[in-house]
Amino acid sequence: MKKASFHRLDRATWPRSEHFDYYVTTIKSRCDITVHLDVSRLLPGRRARRIRRYPALLHIASRAVNRVRECRMGFDADGAPGYWDFVHPSYTIFHTDDKTFSDIWSEYDEAFPVFYASVIEDMERYRDIRGVCTKAGRPPNACHLSLLPWLRFTGLARVQAAHPPFLSPLITFGRQFRQGEKLLLPLAVSVHHAAADGYHISRLVNVMQAQANTVEDWARL
C-alpha cells in the first residue's frame, strides 16, 4: 500500500491558525451541514453499468475529500496540526442477520476500476465477520463514511467531546427520493470547525456533485 506523507502546518503563515485555536480552546464545535445531492445521473448511470451503488458513493466522497486539503487534516506524533497527502475510505457495512455494523477500510485510488475492485474485495471478505473494526491495519490517514439506506433525513448532527479533537470529516449518505423529475440523496457532512469552515464543506459537496453529474466519464470497469 502506498504510504502517505504528513505535512505539519506552519502556524506562523497558516491563514486559519487563529481559527484553529479558537475552535479547539474556546468554541469546541463541529460544523454540520446536510444537503440533497442530485443523483439523477449517478444512480441510473451506475445501474446501467452494473456498478453497485455503495462503492460508487464511496468513490465520489473519497475523491472529493482528497481534493480538499481541509478535509485531510490530522495531528502528528507531537500533537501539531497538519494534513495528509491523501486519505483512504473507512466505511461501515451492515449485517442483515443481527442488524449490527462493522467498520472496514479500503485503499484509495483515483482510478475508479482499481478503487471499485478494492472495495468489492473488502466487502466480500469481511461481510460475515462481526465486530466494530474487523479489518486490521487501518491507517491514520482515513476519512469516515457511512450509508443510512433506510432513512430520508434532512439533518444529521454529531456531538463530540474528544481531546484532541477528531479532525477527519464524517460523511453519511441517506435514502434517495424523487422530487419532481430529480432523484435526490441526503448527504450529511460533519467536520470539526478547527479544521474547516462552511466554505470548505461547500467545496467538498460541490466536488461530489460534479462527480455525480459526470458518471459517464469515470464509471468504467
Please tell me the predicted confidence (pLDDT) of residue 88: 98
Nearest to 111 by CA among 14, 187, 219, 204: 219
Q: What is the pLDDT of residue 75?
A: 96
Catalytic residue among 59, 88, 144, 193: 193
What the chain holds in terms of domains, given with CATH numbers, is 32-157+165-218 (3.30.559.10)
The owner of cell 473507512 is 90
Alpha-carbon distances of 177 from 40, 128, 183, 204, rounded to whole Å: 10, 30, 6, 22
Answer yes or no: 193 catalytic.
yes
What is the predicted pLDDT for the residue at 161?
Answer: 57
- The DSSP code sequence of the chain is -PPPPEEE--TTT-TTHHHHHIIIIIS--EEEEEEEEE-TTHHHHHHHTT--HHHHHHHHHHHHHTT-GGGSEEE-TTS-EEEES--EEEEEEEETTTTEEEEEE----SSHHHHHHHHHHHHHHHTT--SSB-SS---SSEEEEEE-TT---S--------SS---S-EEEE---EEETTEEEEEEEEEEETTT--HHHHHHHHHHHHHHHHTHHHH---
Distance CA 119, CA 92 (A): 12
Tens of pLDDT along the chain (221 residues) come to 889 999 999 999 999 999 999 999 999 889 999 999 999 999 999 989 999 999 999 999 999 999 999 999 999 999 999 999 999 999 999 999 999 999 999 999 999 999 999 999 999 999 999 999 999 999 999 999 999 999 999 999 887 656 788 999 999 999 999 999 999 999 999 999 999 999 999 999 999 999 999 999 999 87
The predicted structure's pLDDT at residue 158? 80
